[in-house]
Chains A and B, each alone.
Chain A
């Protein structure tokens, strides 16, 4: 088992499916509840974070007491944000006692610092959440429903729908127009005479006007 150099300067090495925890969590309820599900490695002298999920992402834990004590935690978060090239996930104990401080913490971490913030009610909720975070880290990115490649649908159908939005054009005329002018760009450049070969004079005029008539200049733009 490779050990991380103390001092917490270099990147922290985390074996897959493990979690590197700060020594101060040894014996805590949080560590005990996680131990059954993920393998914990305790390290001395980790720079600023409480848990490392990988060499790229870590967790900073803010307790109920930290919140009630005031703004000390802010310095820690800002320092972390400025020093580390890591994704920081902030887990905060949001209880009846600390609830009132939560909105301010959220504004600071998410909106000002742009970090991830997840509230938990207790250490045992935190242990479930951290376990889930480890699982998320270790699974294939393609298993995440929000990271999947999307398949584009057939364009023919949506083209017909787009052309139907032109005033005077309905379900029947739209495919006919597209057969003669096979792209939106070509249709937009069609002359009234060319359009008349497909639709009547009145509709040809309507289509041409729709594409070419510039909006009236508004004052002040």
Chain B
């Protein structure tokens, strides 16, 4: 079949955290090599990949999941993602084998099993990957599934200066994800318009659940009391 060239903004888009440039370079270049994916590197502040308006993907190396020392940090990270995103997927990636390193045998631990079952119990998806290339392939598949469910990311890549100014403002709203803030930049004609929107309007424009929209609405209308400042 001849390659189709969908219009700019109509292609599936994945947002990638800038930190992944150092840790997952191969993932990024594989994503770009996969035809028809728009890969945007953004300062996502600790979210590895955003594949749709509601889904974040956390890439974790197997060795980190096996050790008890990193467990607390991992749990805190997932909890943070839960406050921002409706859906979470964890990709457990096999560590790269260094030549002559036999000590790094994968030995399953109780810690690893208990993490997996806790994730399953909370409805967090888990995928297993043998390396960075496969991780990229899984990310692509996830974004396609999300697109079929009409929650794919479709935003023009270029922000006007006006929108650039509004982005940090929207990002400072508690528990808001980068993609939600981006959607706000694009969908609200001005920040004033957003501040005077009903929860329904916020839900439609920011592409968030009704519950999330209520939360944002409450924040915008929250009355400041100087006595409460720490």
Which of B122, B134, B226 touches A103 (beta carbons < 8 Å)? Answer: B134
Give the residues from 158 to 204 in chain B that come closer than 8 angstroms, CB to CB, to chain A. Answer: 160, 162-163, 165-166, 168-169, 171-174, 185, 189-193, 195-196
Q: Is the CB of B145 within 8 A of A111?
A: yes
A136-B120, A154-B230 known; A215-B172 Cβ under 8 A: no
What is the interface size of chain A, counting residues whose CB is below 8 A from a CB of the partner? 64
**Consensus secondary structure, chain B interface:** helix
B41 CB-CB contact with A under 8 Å: no
Q: Is the CB of A182 within 8 A of B224?
A: yes
- What is the CA–CA distance of A189 and B83 in the complex, to the nearest angstrom? 29
- What is the CA–CA distance of A181 and B100 in the complex, to the nearest angstrom? 65
A116-B120, A145-B118, A146-B121 known; A183-B82 Cβ under 8 A: no
Contact bitstring A188-221, B, C-beta under 8 A = 1, else 0:
1100000000000000000000111111101001
Give the residues from 101 to 155 in chain A that come closer than 8 angstroms, CB to CB, to chain B. Answer: 102-103, 106-107, 110-111, 116-121, 125, 128-129, 132-133, 135-137, 141, 144-148, 150, 152-155
A128-B108, A184-B195 known; A216-B160 Cβ under 8 A: yes
Q: Is the CB of B221 within 8 A of A133?
A: no
Which of A120, A185, A210 touches B221 (beta carbons < 8 Å)? Answer: A185
Q: Is the CB of B174 within 8 A of A129?
A: no
CB-CB < 8 A to B195: which residues of A?
A: 184-185, 187-189, 211
A179 CB-CB contact with B under 8 Å: yes
A82 CB-CB contact with B under 8 Å: no
Give the residues from 80 to 112 in chain A that come closer than 8 angstroms, CB to CB, to chain B. Answer: 89, 94, 99, 102-103, 106-107, 110-111
- What is the CA–CA distance of A72 and B142 in the complex, to the nearest angstrom? 25
